[in-house]
A = this chain, B = another copy of it.
């Protein structure tokens, strides 16, 4: 009999589920498309189906001690999802209250990037760090902020919504209506929007002149940039400029030792890291210059969100 916590990462596109032991071993994991379940109760029922399947698949019986969940716009204090920009469930969804009807064990939820930050602190590259920021780059942009060795939760449990941090005057709208909000520029969707902007702004040829917005994918943009596509290179430089400027502002707030980038866009490697570091440094005041590390996540991409979510559950239980 293995004691485990179920770690769940709810993303705008994919929901991931894993059975995780106390020492951070993910025994089994699975995933499904979040948007296939626009009715919230059916979404929860589907999680249950998946969890039972994972339990059945494992070669010995597993004992579920609790759940840890990461989701966009989740309130740790209230156990709710509130006005998520990138999910189908509108308004306020009482996640913990509803899920508790299916499982009578402790269930903890927080925003998906907080969960990533916990994972990074316990299992990843932030081991031993007391001040750092994790930026998750998916469909949108999430953030988890650690200061004095503790996750900043906020008065209402909603700290770290840096996707809606305004970074360009009168700029692009985010899904929540913030003008010039960071995730409208720095995310999978933001990069696609920047490709469109660059196609309009420049006259140069590009493979993207024959691809429609809806057919564009992030990996293609990385690939094109690596092959020297003018528009793709401009798009990465601009994305790094916007992110670098925003990070310089974040530093004036909490002066982190390091900032971690993870998720799809981060896996573009130096295409995104190099311009971001350059523009961040240009915008830092002397006292911060050369002191803030920009690092990739130290966790295996596929498991980081699950392990982080499970860490939230384990933290609560232990």
Binding site for B on A (CB under 8 A): 73, 82-83, 130-131, 145, 147-148, 150, 152-162, 164-166, 168-169, 176-178, 245, 248-250, 252-257, 283, 285-288, 291
Q: In the complex, how many angstroms separate the beta carbon of A74 from the nearest chain B beta carbon?
A: 11
Once the chains bind, are B255 and A253 in contact (CB under 8 Å)? no
Q: In the complex, how many angstroms separate the beta carbon of A249 from the nearest chain B beta carbon?
A: 5
Beyond A148-B150, A168-B169, A285-B177, is A252–B161 a contact (Cβ under 8 Å)?
A: yes
Could you give 6 example pairs across A and B, Cβ below 8 Å? Answer: A145-B254, A147-B147, A152-B254, A156-B291, A158-B288, A159-B253
Q: In the complex, how many angstroms separate the beta carbon of A308 from the nearest chain B beta carbon?
A: 19
Residue of A73, A245, A250, A254 contacting most chain B CB atoms (<10 Å)? A254
Residues of B within 8 A of A169 (CB): 168-169
Once the chains bind, are B249 and A155 in contact (CB under 8 Å)? no
Beyond A148-B148, A153-B148, is A252–B286 a contact (Cβ under 8 Å)?
A: no
C-alpha spacing A130/B159, complex, angstroms: 13
Once the chains bind, are A154 and B285 in contact (CB under 8 Å)? no
Residues of B within 8 A of A177 (CB): 285
Once the chains bind, are A155 and B130 in contact (CB under 8 Å)? yes
Pick the 5 closest A-B CB pairs, nearest first: A154-B255, A155-B257, A159-B255, A131-B155, A147-B152
Once the chains bind, are B176 and A286 in contact (CB under 8 Å)? yes
Once the chains bind, are B166 and A253 in contact (CB under 8 Å)? no
Chain B residue with the shortest CB-CB distance to A182: B252
Q: In the complex, how many angstroms separate the beta carbon of A121 from the nearest chain B beta carbon?
A: 14
Residues of B within 8 A of A257 (CB): 155
C-alpha spacing A73/B73, complex, angstroms: 34
Q: In the complex, how many angstroms separate the beta carbon of A95 from the nearest chain B beta carbon?
A: 14
CB < 8 Å neighbour of A159 from B147, B160, B168, B245: B147
Once the chains bind, are B82 and A161 in contact (CB under 8 Å)? no
Chain B residue with the shortest CB-CB distance to A258: B155
Chain B residue with the shortest CB-CB distance to A178: B285
Beyond A147-B159, A178-B283, is A166–B254 a contact (Cβ under 8 Å)?
A: no
Residues of B within 8 A of A286 (CB): 82-83, 176
Once the chains bind, are A249 and B147 in contact (CB under 8 Å)? no
Once the chains bind, are B131 and A154 in contact (CB under 8 Å)? yes
Q: In the complex, how many angstroms separate the beta carbon of A157 from the nearest chain B beta carbon?
A: 8
C-alpha spacing A145/B287, complex, angstroms: 18
Once the chains bind, are A161 and B83 in contact (CB under 8 Å)? no
C-alpha spacing A130/B253, complex, angstroms: 17
Once the chains bind, are A253 and B256 in contact (CB under 8 Å)? no
Residues of B within 8 A of A283 (CB): 166, 178
CB < 8 Å neighbour of A255 from B131, B147, B156, B249: B156
Chain B residue with the shortest CB-CB distance to A153: B148
C-alpha spacing A59/B176, complex, angstroms: 62
Residues of B within 8 A of A158 (CB): 255, 287-288
